[in-house]
Amino acid sequence: MGKDRLTAFSDGFFAIIITIMVLELRVPQGADWSALRAVAPSLVTYVLSFVYLAIYWNNHHHLLHTLTRVDGLILWANTHLLFLLSLVPAATAWLGNNFLASPPTALYGGTLLLPAIAYYLLQKAIIHRQGAHSILARALGRDIKGKISPLLYIAGIAIAFVSPWMSIAIYALVAVMWLIPDPRIERTLSDH
């Protein structure tokens, strides 16, 4: 019951954050193709952020599957994650308006880094409540992707001051790395 409402709220939140970014997608000023070209960077950042949020939604979906019970700790760990994800549209808009400038590129990396940490904490909170032998604990195993991603974000943030293109490439690389839904949880779940 509580879990259903948490899921519904999170789903609504994801759907809204993703689509809020459409609103930030700049409408071309003027009726010709050059006006369209001027908003191309805004479209590139939109695509990247859309893929990121879709990945979070997808993995969050698998994560909540493993929940057996919702309490205050998990509720707030989840709200913390959603809060940090809600900063992504504004960072996307800033980067889209100032494509490849160092500060927006670095900040964008920061808004990818923070939810990654929050997601890690949410996993920890669920494992803390459900025990080291729970489905989730076994499914995650050593969680290599979860540990490498923050390092890559930090690298991307640092590199933004040298070569913003490289940062964007790193952020895109992490997205590709996560694009496959987490087979560990799916496999462990289907073993039951």
Residues 66-95 that bind its own copies (CB under 8 A): 72, 75-76, 79, 83, 86-87, 89-90, 93-94
| 165 is an interface residue for its own copies by CB under 8 A | no
| Number of helices followed by number of strands (H, E) in the chain | 10, 0
3, 41, 44, 54: residue in contact with its own copies (rule CB under 8 A): 54
Place of tokens 């803390």: 128
How far apart CA 56 and CA 50 sit, in angstroms, is 10
H-helix or E-strand spanning residue 73: helix 72-85
| 38 is an interface residue for its own copies by CB under 8 A | no
Q: How many CA atoms lie within 13 A of 49 on its CB side?
A: 33
Smaller CB separation from its own copies, 33 or 132: 33
Closest CA to 14 of 82, 72, 87: 82
Q: How far is the CB of 164 from its own copies (least distance, A)?
A: 10
Q: How far is the CB of 132 from its own copies (least distance, A)?
A: 25
| 162 is an interface residue for its own copies by CB under 8 A | no
Place of tokens 């943030």: 157
Place of tokens 């590709």: 176
Smaller CB separation from its own copies, 95 or 127: 95
How far apart CA 73 and CA 126 sit, in angstroms, is 9
How far apart CA 123 and CA 125 sit, in angstroms, is 5
Smaller CB separation from its own copies, 90 or 154: 90
| 154 is an interface residue for its own copies by CB under 8 A | no
| 131 is an interface residue for its own copies by CB under 8 A | no
| 52 is an interface residue for its own copies by CB under 8 A | no
How far apart CA 149 and CA 171 sit, in angstroms, is 9
Task: Give residues in contact with its own copies (CB under 8 A).
Answer: 2, 5, 7-9, 11-20, 22-25, 27-28, 30-33, 35-36, 47, 50, 54, 57-58, 61, 72, 75-76, 79, 83, 86-87, 89-90, 93-94, 97-98, 101-104, 107, 179-181, 186
